[in-house]
Chains A and B, each alone.
Chain A
């Protein structure tokens, strides 16, 4: 079974083909365990990222135009890389939310077009669910607490009773927003996480006080953002280097994240932690989480760098499992996009308990 996944929620347009091979036994007894172990293969993975100009964020319309422009090439490249023809594909999956409306619509229109022209079933996929499930597949985590950290999400999730339930999240902006908006205010081009990380690793290691806001299992970053921006401005005015501000920002934000993870571990008693999403690539965050997991003797799984950020595989993979466990196919005229589609509102059919 071959699934083409099309991702277009924000700055990335990506397409990927995943092949799932049925065996005698798995055909009789489809469960997730034999689905994810060794039978799924990523055949191709092509992406093109829209980079906004220095100092500004993603403009939804311009990003969607970028997606529309590169879409044909990315699809061609994706199919060629897999060594297939579009007619071989069995399922078309697309990211239906959450994300930027204009960008989502590009992916949805392309998928509907392919699905209706080649008469293939179509599967709308939740982007966040994609991050989580792909992470589960790649790391073979069993029953983890999931930390989803990206430009669009900052959430702590655990599976219970048919759904991924939220055990903690940000009350306002995400950790990706925090890093990007801080970076952009200082003239970086987004995504800024990488540059902030490099700068702070070169800093002297002097910590400057910044607001640290943990509310139970939740965090709030907006006050930290304002304070960090103000501090950076002041430093610039005084002609001082602002690497220390980057350092303090990272230290504060990641310590907040790690503390909430610790709280969630001790509350849920989970023995595994899985980190997915773009910010999972940050080495300092990994180091802190490793340390915290060690204290609670939990095992830490981190999504491989290549698949931490937005990609097509996450969509293709959820497309396959959702299709296999779905009772009814979704009609093309019923295929939707939903800008604010929370992951904890989706019934997951393929996981037990």
Chain B
């Protein structure tokens, strides 16, 4: 069906259901051992986290089958459009709400780009691609997540980012609370200042 950055996606059937198979392909450029471990760990991580996220109320595809050795996950096929192609302010709010839910439950997604959301029926967002995710209560990790969202908004949605990013934060704070959001944003700034040449004088 498509070729992502790290995996190939195929449409298939699984016991009568529409399904997709996500195979983390071998990367010939990567050292063999490193490649094997990355693919195996991410597959397991993703399968686990997809289920955990569902428990706390973030919609994710159902996992049907996992094979860590060949790094393959078969999961539910979600009808809808990729958020990357169809982004607007109200969806930014929804995206913020999703992120807030994850963070109140100490789930760090670690790859919160718009291409990892699917807009399903009724503008409901379905979150994908938990390969880099992990559990952590550290503010730092949550802030790294938010920083990525900020980076994506300000590089790819330049025309709407001035309105959309505050909307995202509004959605985020509606779940996680004003106080925590402010603390997170402060941390985001701190992380940005750690980066290269960012002391904006």
Task: List the interface of chain A (C-beta within 8 A of B).
Answer: 97-98, 152-155, 158, 160-161, 165-172, 174, 207, 209, 212, 214-218, 248, 251-252, 255, 258-259, 262-263, 265-268, 287-289, 291-292, 295-296, 338-342, 345
Contact = CB atoms under 8 A, between A and B. Distances in A.
Contact of A263 (B5, B27, B37, B155): B5
Contacts of B197: 97-98, 152, 339-342
B200 interface: yes
A166 B112 CA distance: 16
Contacts, number: 121
B198 A340 contact: yes
Contact of B5 (A155, A167, A251, A266): A266
B152 to A, nearest CB: 8
Interface stretch (B13-21, B61-69, B188-196): B188-196
A215 B196 contact: no
Contacts of B110: 215-216
Contacts of B196: 98, 152-155, 169-170, 174, 340, 342
A218 B155 contact: no
Interface in B170-196: 191, 194-196
A57 B28 CA distance: 35
B23 to A, nearest CB: 14
B57 interface: no
B1 interface: no
B151 interface: yes
Contact of A340 (B4, B84, B200): B200
* Size class of the contact patch on chain B: 35 or more
Contact of B132 (A166, A214, A265, A287): A214
B144 A171 contact: yes
Given A216-B111, A217-B151, A255-B34, A266 B195 contact: no
A266 B3 contact: yes
Given A207-B31, A216-B148, 10 more contacts: A152-B197, A170-B196, A172-B195, A207-B33, A212-B38, A251-B34, A259-B6, A265-B5, A291-B27, A340-B196
A163 to B, nearest CB: 8
B144 A215 contact: yes
The 4 closest A-B pairs by CB, nearest first: A340-B197, A288-B29, A291-B29, A165-B155
Main secondary structure of the interface of A (DSSP, over half): mixed
B122 interface: no
Contact of A166 (B30, B113, B155, B159): B155
A251 B151 contact: no
B77 interface: no
A216 B34 contact: no
Given A216-B113, A216-B132, A251-B31, A266 B4 contact: yes
B138 interface: no
16 contacts: A98-B196, A160-B155, A207-B32, A214-B132, A215-B110, A215-B148, A216-B110, A216-B113, A217-B113, A251-B34, A258-B29, A263-B5, A288-B30, A291-B28, A291-B29, A342-B196
A124 to B, nearest CB: 15
Contacts of B88: none
A323 B159 CA distance: 28
